Structure 1
Amino acid sequence: MTIQENHNDEAVIAHYFTIGRFEAAAPLIEKWLRQDPQNATAFYQMAVVEFSRGHFQESRDLCRQALRFGYDETTGYHFIGSAYQHEGRFTEAEEAFLAAYEKDPLDGELIASYGSLMLEAGHDKKAFALLERARELEPYSQRVNQLLLDFYFAKADKNMQQEYIRNVMETSADEVQNLTNMAMFHVLKGDLKEARECYRQAFLLNPEDRNILALLEYYDTVSHPLFAPHRLMGKIGGPAVVWLGFIIIGLLLNALHLYIQLFIFAGLYILFAIYTWITHLLYKWFAKGRL
C-alpha cells in the first residue's frame, strides 16, 4: 500500500467517525491493521468500532493493545473507563478514569466523564463539583456542556437546562444532538407535541438512528388526541390523584344524599377508567403512523 493510499484511507476513516458510521470504517481499519499490525491508532479506532457494536470487553482489549503500542494514555484510559461505565461496572470505570486523570489532571472532558459516572452512581455532590471543574477548564467544550446539561436534566432544574441547552447549541455543530436536547427539555415541561416534533426533525436528519425512531414512535403515541385523558391525569398528579378525587367527591355526594348525582358521577368515572385502560388498543386499531 502506498503512502498516498494510507493517507486516503485515514481521511475516509476520520470522516466515517465524524458522522458516526463506525461500521463503514471497520473494513478500512482492519486493512490498515493487516498492513501495520502494531499501529496504535488503528487499534484504538477498532476499539471504538467494537464499542459502537456494544462489545465492551473486546473494545477494552483492543484499547489496551493500542496503549501497549504507544497510544495516548489519557485518551486510552478515558475510553476504557467509558466502556466499563456502559456496563454499569462503576468501580472499574472509576479506576480507569483516575488512571487517566493521573496522566492529565487538566483534561476537562475527562473530568466531565468522571462527573457523569458519579451522577450515575448516585454521588450528586461529587458529580456537580467535577462537572463544574470541567466547565472551568473547558467552558467551550460541547461534551462538557452536554454532560452538564445531562446533570440538570437529571435534577429537573429547568432554568439551568435552558442555559446549558443554549451553551450546547453554541458549542456544537451536531444538529441531531441539539434537537434531542430540546426534545428532552420539552418532555420535562410536559410539552409532548413539541418534544415529538423535535424527535421528528432529528429522525429526518438521521433516519438510521433506531433510538431516535423508538422515541419518535413513543411520543407520536402519547401526543395523539386519544391520549388526552392520560395527559390530563399527568398534569393533575397521576391516576392516584384522580382516584382520590373520585373517593372524596363520592363521599361528599353520599353525605349530601345526592344519590342520582352520585350514580351519574360513578358511571362517568367507570367509563373514564375503562377508556384509559383500552386507549393503547384503540390507538393500535384506529391511529395511523405519521412522520
Structure 2
Amino acid sequence: MVNYEDTEVNENYEESSFEVIEYYCKIEKYARTIELVQEKLDEHIENGRLWYILGFSHLAMEEYDQSEEQLKEALRLGYSEEFVYYTLGHVYLKTERWKKAEEAFLESLRFNPNNEGVLADYAFLMKIMGHRKKARQLINKARELAPENGYVIKIHFILEGINSPEKQRVLALEQYMNSNDSELHKLVNLGNHAFHHNKEKEAQEYFRQAFLLNPENKSILSFLEFFELGGFELGHPLLAPNRLIERVGGPAVAWLIGIVIYFSLIVLEFNSAAILFIQSFFVFVLYTWISLPLVKLIKIWRNKNG
C-alpha cells in the first residue's frame, strides 16, 4: 500500500489546525482521520490536501468507491498529480482494474520518473499481469534508486515470494526483516507470505500479533475471522486448478493463453475443437472463481459436524 508519509508536500493551509488530522493518518487510525476531515471540510471545501487525505483514508479502509471519488476531487482542486495518480493506482489495483492501474502509475511517473515507491508498485502490478521480466526490471530500478527504502524492500520481498526459488525468497526475507518497515507491516507481510506457502498456523499467528497492534485494520480482522472459521488448506485437491493458474503466471496470463489457443484453432479451421475448448475453458475459469468459497464451506461444514 502507498505510504502516506512519503506523500507530504507543502501547501498553503492552516498547518496548526490540521496537525491532529495528519497525526491520526500517520498512525493509521483511518476511521478517526475520516471523522476529523469531514468536520473540517465545511470550512475548507476547496482544500485539495483534505480531499486527498480523505481519499487515502477510505482506500486504507477498503472503501474504494469513496476513495476514487475523493481522490479525483483532490486532483480537480490542484493537489499533487504525482501523489493523487499514485494513490488512484492503488484503488484500481485493489479493484482489479489492471489497465487503469497501469495508466495511473505511468501518469504518476510522468511527473517523477524516479519515484521508487511508484516503480515498486508498478513492478507488483506487472507481476500480477504476468509480465515477469518487466516486473523484475522495475523493482531492480527501484532498489537501485533507494536500496535502503523499507517500502521498496517490502515489495521486493513480496515479489520474490511469488513463484521464486527458495534461495531468492530467503535472501529477500532477510533483507526485508532488516529494513526500516514498521513492525505491523512486517507482521502482515510475513503472514501473507506464510499463507501463500501453505503455512496456515504460522500465518494465523502473524495476523494475530498484527491485530493486537492495530485492531481497527479490516484486512487483518477479515483474515483472523477466516482462520477462526477453519481456513482452508491451500494444498486441497479441489484447488488444483487455482495452483495451475498461479504457476502459469496468474489469471491474466491464463486468459491470454486461452484466447491464443482458441483463435489458433479457428485459424486452423478446427471449429468444432475451438467451440469445445472455449466451453471447457470457461467452465475451468468459472470453477477457479467458486473453488475458494466452495472449499471454505466444506471446511465450515466439517467443523460443525465434527
- TM-score (normalizing by structure 2): 0.66
The range that moved more, 107-116 or 26-35, is 26-35
**Which residue among 165, 170, 180 is the counterpart of 1:162?**
170
CA distance in 2 between partners of 1:214 and 1:57 (Å) = 20
**Which residue among 48, 63, 67 is the counterpart of 2:71?**
63
Point out where structure 1 has 5 or more consecutive residues left out of the alignment: 241-276, 287-291
Change (3 A) 1:18 1:159: farther
Is 1:16 the equivalent of 2:36?
no
Aligned positions of 1:204-219 closer than 5 A: 204-219=212-227
**Which residue among 29, 33, 39 is the counterpart of 1:25?**
33
Shift of 1:97: 1.4
Question: Which has the bigger relative contact order, CA under 8 A and spacing at least 6?
Answer: 2
CA distance in 2 between partners of 1:218 and 1:123 (Å) = 31
Name the one with the larger helix percent.
1
CA distance in 2 between partners of 1:96 and 1:203 (Å) = 31
Is 1:284 the equivalent of 2:304?
yes
Please give the per-residue CA displacement for 1:267-290, whole angstroms capped at 9, x wherever unaligned. xxxxxxxxxx9875553366xxxx
Q: Name the residue aligned to 1:42.
A: 50
CA distance in 2 between partners of 1:68 and 1:188 (Å) = 40
- TM-score (normalizing by structure 1): 0.69
SS in 1 for 2:24: helix
CA distance in 1 between partners of 2:226 and 2:66 (Å) = 33
Change (3 A) 1:28 1:209: closer
Q: Name the residue aligned to 2:82.
A: 74
Change (3 A) 1:194 1:36: closer
Is 1:113 the equivalent of 2:121?
yes
SS in 2 for 1:59: helix
Please give the per-residue CA displacement for 1:151-171, whole angstroms capped at 9, x wherever unaligned. 112224333333333333333
CA distance in 1 between partners of 2:22 and 2:55 (Å) = 14
Q: Name the residue aligned to 2:180.
A: 172
Q: What is the percentage of aligned positions where both structures have the same residue?
A: 28
Contact 1:196–1:216 (8 Å) recurs in 2:
yes
Is 1:142 the equivalent of 2:150?
yes
Q: Name the residue aligned to 2:263.
A: none
SS in 2 for 1:35: coil
Residue type of the partner of 1:87? T
Contact 1:156–1:188 (8 Å) recurs in 2:
no
Residue type of the partner of 1:145? I
Residue type of the partner of 1:48? F
CA distance in 1 between partners of 2:59 and 2:199 (Å) = 34
Contact 2:67–2:91 (8 Å) recurs in 1:
yes
Is 1:100 the equivalent of 2:108?
yes
Aligned positions of 1:209-288 closer than 5 A: 209-219=217-227, 234=235, 281=301, 283-284=303-304
Shift of 1:218: 4.5
Contact 2:158–2:193 (8 Å) recurs in 1:
no
The higher radius of gyration belongs to 1
Point out where structure 2 has 5 or more consecutive residues left out of the alignment: 1-12, 240-296
Residue type of the partner of 2:173? I
Shift of 1:105: 0.6
Change (3 A) 1:54 1:238: closer
Equivalenced residues, count:
238
Residue type of the partner of 2:110? E
Q: Name the residue aligned to 1:256.
A: none
CA distance in 1 between partners of 2:176 and 2:112 (Å) = 24
